[in-house]
C-alpha cells in the first residue's frame, strides 16, 4: 500500500519536476486556500425557523436519506466531522435562516447579531471564517416569487430591512473572526411566464440593492456579493437578476460578483467567465456546484469543469481575488459524505491546477507551438496526482483514500441512526 510518504511520492515529485513543477511548493500553497462549506447541505436547506413554509424560490432538494440535522447542535456535530476529514483550514457559509432563534422566531427583518453569536463563538474556537447569506425564499412574503423587485413597496421594504440586517450580521462575523465575511445576495425574483414589463422589476431591484448597500459597512469585516441566474423552477421565462444585470451592477457598484456553476446555459461554463469578469469586478465569489440537465445542485465531482475552474484561478493568479464557496444539496446520500466528497474534490482540483506545468504550456503557446501545447496538456492528465493527494492528506493528518468514509459510516451508525 502506498502511504504517501515513501518512494511513490518521491517518484511523483520527480515526474512533476521533469516538467518544471515544484510539488512541495504546490502543497504549501494549497494549504492556504480556504473553501467555504455551505451549511445547507447538512439539512436540505431547512434552517431553524421551523415555519413549515415551502422552500420555494425555485430551489428543490430531492432524496430522503435518513439522519439529517434538525437543530444547531446536530448541524455543528455533523460539520465538525466533515471538517475533520478535509485537509486544510476552511470556512462555513451560513444562511440567515440558520440563526439560533430560541422560542420566538423573529421576523426576517428583525434578526440580529445575537442570533448568530453562537456561530461566531463556535467558529472562533475552531479557527474557521464565516460567510453569510440573507434568505429571500421559504417565506410568505416571497411566495409569489418576488422580493426586492416586488411592485409593492412594503414588500420591498421588508426585504431591504432583511438585507441590511444581514450585512450587519456579516460585519459582526468578520469583526469577531478577523476575516471578512462575504455576504451573498441571491434573490429568486422572476416570472414563470412571459413578463409584460422586463424593465420595471430590474429598476426596482437595482434601487432596492442601492438602498441596502447605502448603509456604510467596513469592507474589512463584510464584503457584499450579488449572484446571477439564468432561470429557476417557476422563473423559466424571466429572472430579474440575470447575468448581464448583476455584471453591470457589480462593476458599477464595485461589488463582488457570484458565479454559480449551475446558473447558466448547460453548455456555458463559468470557468471561461472568470478571466472576463475579473477584468472589471474587484473580487469574485464562486458557488461551485454541478447542474445535471438543470440547476440541480448535484454534489461536485472531479470532472472537466471543476479542473477548468481551479485551473483558471491558478493560471490567472486570481486566488487572492476569489472566494471559493460550494453550493449543492443532495438528500439522497449521506449528507456529511456529500460535503466531504464535494469539498475534497474542490481541493483536489486546486492541487491539479497547482501542479500544472504552466510555464511550459505558456511558452509553447507564445511560440505558436499549439501541437506541443496539446500534447503536454494531455500528457499531464496521467501524472500521479493521486499519489501527491494521498501524501497531502497524510501530511495534514486527515484520512487517506477512502479512509474518511469509514469515519462517516461509524458516525452514521452511532449518531445519525438515532435521530
Match 430579474 to its residue by C-alpha cell: 240
Question: Which residue is at the shortest CB distance from ligand RNT?
Answer: 186
229 binds, among ligand RNT, Zn ion, none (CB under 5 to 8 A by kind): ligand RNT
Match 445535471 to its residue by C-alpha cell: 292
**Interface positions with Zn ion (CB under 5 A):** 260, 287, 327
Shortest distance, CB of residue 4 to Zn ion, whole angstroms? Answer: 34
Shortest distance, CB of residue 285 to Zn ion, whole angstroms? Answer: 9
**C-beta atoms surrounding 57 within 10 Å:** 25
Q: Which of 115, 139, 243, 287 is catalytic?
A: 287
224 is catalytic: no
Q: Which of residues 279-298 bind ligand RNT (CB under 6 A)?
A: 287, 295
Q: Which of residues 179-208 bind ligand RNT (CB under 6 A)?
A: 186
CB 395 within 8 A of CB 414: no
Q: Which of 21, 39, 45, 206 binds ligand RNT (CB under 6 A)?
A: 45
Output 186 or 392, the one with its CB closest to ligand RNT: 186
Shortest distance, CB of residue 297 to Zn ion, whole angstroms? Answer: 8
Q: Which of 43, 78, 295, 390 is catalytic?
A: 295
260 is catalytic: yes
186 is catalytic: yes
Shortest distance, CB of residue 334 to Zn ion, whole angstroms? Answer: 22
Is the Cα dihedral 211, 215, 216, 220 positive or negative? negative
297 is catalytic: yes
Angle formed at CA 290 by CA 289 and CA 294, multiple of 5 degrees: 120
Q: Does 227 bind ligand RNT (CB under 6 A)?
A: yes
Output 286 or 383, the one with its CB closest to Zn ion: 286
Q: Does 98 bind ligand RNT (CB under 6 A)?
A: no
Residue 159 is placed in which grid cell?
Answer: 426585504
Residue 252 is placed in which grid cell?
Answer: 458599477
Q: Which of 36, 46, 133, 147 binds ligand RNT (CB under 6 A)?
A: 133
Output 133 or 179, the one with its CB closest to ligand RNT: 133
Output 287 or 335, the one with its CB closest to ligand RNT: 287
Output 12 or 226, the one with its CB closest to ligand RNT: 226
Residue 361 is placed in which grid cell?
Answer: 504550456
327 is catalytic: yes
392 binds, among Zn ion, ligand RNT, none (CB under 5 to 8 A by kind): none
73 is catalytic: no
263 is catalytic: yes
Output 19 or 294, the one with its CB closest to ligand RNT: 294
Shortest distance, CB of residue 187 to Zn ion, whole angstroms? Answer: 12
Q: Which of residues 386-415 bind ligand RNT (CB under 6 A)?
A: none
Q: Does 222 bind ligand RNT (CB under 6 A)?
A: no
Output 86 or 226, the one with its CB closest to Zn ion: 226
Shortest distance, CB of residue 372 to Zn ion, whole angstroms? Answer: 38
Shortest distance, CB of residue 236 to ligand RNT, whole angstroms? Answer: 13
Residue (of 170, 254, 256) closest to 218 by Cα position: 170
Q: Which of 40, 119, 186, 404 is catalytic?
A: 186
295 is catalytic: yes
CB 383 within 8 A of CB 355: yes
Question: Residues with catalytic annotation?
Answer: 186, 227, 229, 260, 263, 287, 295, 297, 327
Interface contacts to ligand RNT, rule CB under 6 A = 40, 45, 59, 133, 186, 227, 229, 260, 287, 295, 327
Amino acid at each position: 500500500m502506498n502511504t504517501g510518504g515513501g518512494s511513490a511520492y518521491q517518484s511523483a515529485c520527480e515526474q512533476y519536476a521533469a516538467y518544471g513543477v515544484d510539488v512541495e511548493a504546490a502543497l504549501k500553497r494549497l494549504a492556504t486556500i480556504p473553501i467555504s462549506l455551505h451549511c445547507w447541505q447538512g439539512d436540505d436547506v431547512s434552517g431553524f425557523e421551523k415555519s413549515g413554509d415551502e422552500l420555494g424560490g425555485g430551489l428543490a432538494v430531492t432524496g430522503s436519506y435518513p439522519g439529517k440535522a434538525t437543530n444547531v447542535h446536530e448541524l455543528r456535530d455533523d460539520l465538525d466531522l466533515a471538517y475533520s476529514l478535509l485537509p486544510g483550514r476552511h470556512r462555513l457559509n451560513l444562511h440567515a435562516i440558520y440563526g439560533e432563534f430560541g422560542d420566538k422566531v423573529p421576523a426576517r427583518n428583525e434578526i440580529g447579531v445575537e442570533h448568530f453569536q453562537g456561530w461566531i463563538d463556535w467558529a472562533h474556537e475552531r479557527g474557521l471564517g464565516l460567510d453569510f447569506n440573507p434568505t429571500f425564499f421559504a417565506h410568505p412574503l416571497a411566495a409569489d416569487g418576488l422580493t426586492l423587485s416586488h411592485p409593492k413597496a412594503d414588500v420591498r421594504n421588508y426585504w431591504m430591512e432583511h438585507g441590511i440586517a444581514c450585512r450587519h450580521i456579516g460585519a459582526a462575523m468578520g469583526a469577531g473572526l478577523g476575516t471578512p465575511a462575504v455576504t451573498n445576495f441571491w434573490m429568486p425574483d422572476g416570472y414563470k411566464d412571459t413578463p409584460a414589463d422586463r424593465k420595471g422589476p430590474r429598476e426596482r431591484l437595482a434601487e432596492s440593492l442601492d438602498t441596502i448597500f447605502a448603509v456604510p459597512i467596513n469592507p474589512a469585516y463584510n464584503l457584499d456579493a450579488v449572484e446571477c441566474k439564468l432561470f429557476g423552477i417557476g422563473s423559466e421565462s424571466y429572472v430579474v437578476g440575470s447575468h448581464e444585470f448583476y455584471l453591470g451592477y457589480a462593476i458599477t457598484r464595485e461589488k463582488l460578483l457570484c458565479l454559480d456553476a449551475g446558473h447558466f446555459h448547460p453548455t456555458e461554463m463559468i470557468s471561461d467567465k472568470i478571466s472576463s469578469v475579473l477584468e472589471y469586478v474587484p473580487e469574485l465569489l464562486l458557488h461551485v456546484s454541478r447542474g445535471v440537465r438543470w440547476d440541480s445542485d448535484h454534489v461536485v465531482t472531479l470532472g472537466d469543469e471543476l479542473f477548468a475552474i481551479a485551473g483558471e484561478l491558478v493560471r490567472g493568479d486570481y486566488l487572492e481575488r476569489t472566494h471559493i464557496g460550494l453550493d449543492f444539496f443532495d438528500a439522497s446520500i449521506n449528507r456529511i459524505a456529500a460535503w466531504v466528497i464535494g469539498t475534497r474534490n474542490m481541493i483536489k482540483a486546486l492541487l491539479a491546477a497547482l501542479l500544472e506545468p504552466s510555464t511550459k504550456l505558456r511558452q509553447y503557446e507564445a511560440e505558436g507551438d499549439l501541437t506541443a501545447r496539446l500534447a503536454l496538456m494531455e500528457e499531464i492528465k496521467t501524472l500521479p496526482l493521486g499519489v501527491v493527494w494521498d501524501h497531502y492528506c497524510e501530511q495534514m493528518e486527515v484520512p487517506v483514500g477512502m479512509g474518511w468514509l469509514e469515519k462517516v459510516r461509524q458516525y452514521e451508525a452511532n449518531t445519525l441512526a438515532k435521530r
